Amino acid sequence: MFTGKLAVLYEGQGDNAIFQQLAERLAVPLRNTTQADTLSELFFLCWRDGCLKLLDRELLKKGGLSVDIAPRNGEQHSYPAPKQGALAQAVGRKTKTVIDATTGWGQDSLFMFRMGYQVSCIERSPIMAELLTDGFNRLAQQDWVQRLQLSMPPLHTGNAIDLLTSLTTPPDCIYLDPMFPPKRKKSALAKKAMVILRDLLGDDTDKDQLFSVALQAAGKRVVVKSPDDAEPLGGKPSESFSGKLLRYDVYLKG
């Protein structure tokens, strides 16, 4: 699937067997830094600073990208954090169970988790699933998580359309954050993490079908996160809540 595009990179630190196992799971080559001058792949996975990281060639000497388990700027550090802001308004303060069907880097999933929602995650990309698993494992080791005996959000790898269709118990809310085509004019605000994700995985071309399946599978609502200038994915929403440069469209059922 990622032949010629991705490799696991061993930099001489840690157990080489773990790197080999990761390469085998993803069916990609295992490279090492002695091959630095001959590396042909565009993207790499490796463990640095205690985290599994995704790198492109620009990041080979700069650190890399990993799932960030710390609260973002402006978020409360308490647990559960107050259900405030546009995301909480869209998901619903009385909502209990949420499926994030397009987990990506996991930032919204983790924010909802910290606000006390019962979050389950779906991620179609095996690469992102590896990065998320690493992030959730690190989060599980945090003192506050262990003190409160919290369980990590379950992570399901696969196509959300198939997985949502086979649900036996509908969640209160299904959350969608599909990748939209970039604006023609490149924005300086485009984050490196999203640029790499788009370059590696491409756009979500089946987001209309995903929305349709989510609306059938949700118990009470579907929430779609989109750029503020994008057309609503499911037509006119029941309500919308705006954040910085983005919008949460809410589709209520019944």
**243 belongs to a structural domain:** yes
pLDDT by position in tens, the chain (length 254): 666 799 999 998 888 999 999 999 999 999 997 766 678 898 999 999 899 999 988 878 888 899 999 987 777 778 999 999 999 999 999 999 999 999 999 999 999 999 999 999 999 999 999 999 999 999 999 999 999 999 999 999 999 999 999 999 999 999 999 887 665 444 443 477 877 777 777 777 799 999 999 999 999 999 999 998 889 999 999 999 998 889 999 999 97
**79 belongs to a structural domain:** no
3-state helix, strand and coil shares in percent for the chain, rounded to the nearest 5: 30, 20, 45
| CATH assignment at residue 222 | 3.40.50.150
Q: Are 154 and 121 in contact (CB under 8 A)?
A: yes
* Whether residue 102 is found in the same domain as residue 208: yes
* Whether residue 174 is found in the same domain as residue 100: yes
Listed residues 44, 59, 74: the one ending a domain: 59
Angle, in degrees to the nearest 10, between helices 126-140 and 16-26: 140
* Whether residue 98 is found in the same domain as residue 216: yes
| CATH assignment at residue 16 | 3.40.120
Q: How high is the pLDDT of residue 244?
A: 81
* Whether residue 38 is found in the same domain as residue 140: no
Q: How high is the pLDDT of residue 187?
A: 47
**76 belongs to a structural domain:** no
Angle, in degrees to the nearest 10, between helices 192-201 and 126-140: 140
Question: Omega into 80 within 30° of 0, i.e. cis?
Answer: yes
Phi-psi region of 155 (alpha: psi -120 to 50; beta: other; left: phi over 0): beta
| Residue 216 backbone dihedrals phi, psi, to 5 degrees | -70, -40
* Whether residue 108 is found in the same domain as residue 27: no
Range of the domain at 146: 85-252
* Whether residue 117 is found in the same domain as residue 229: yes
What is the side-by-side order of every strand in the sheet holding 30-32? 30-32, 6-10, 43-48, 51-56
Q: How high is the pLDDT of residue 48?
A: 92
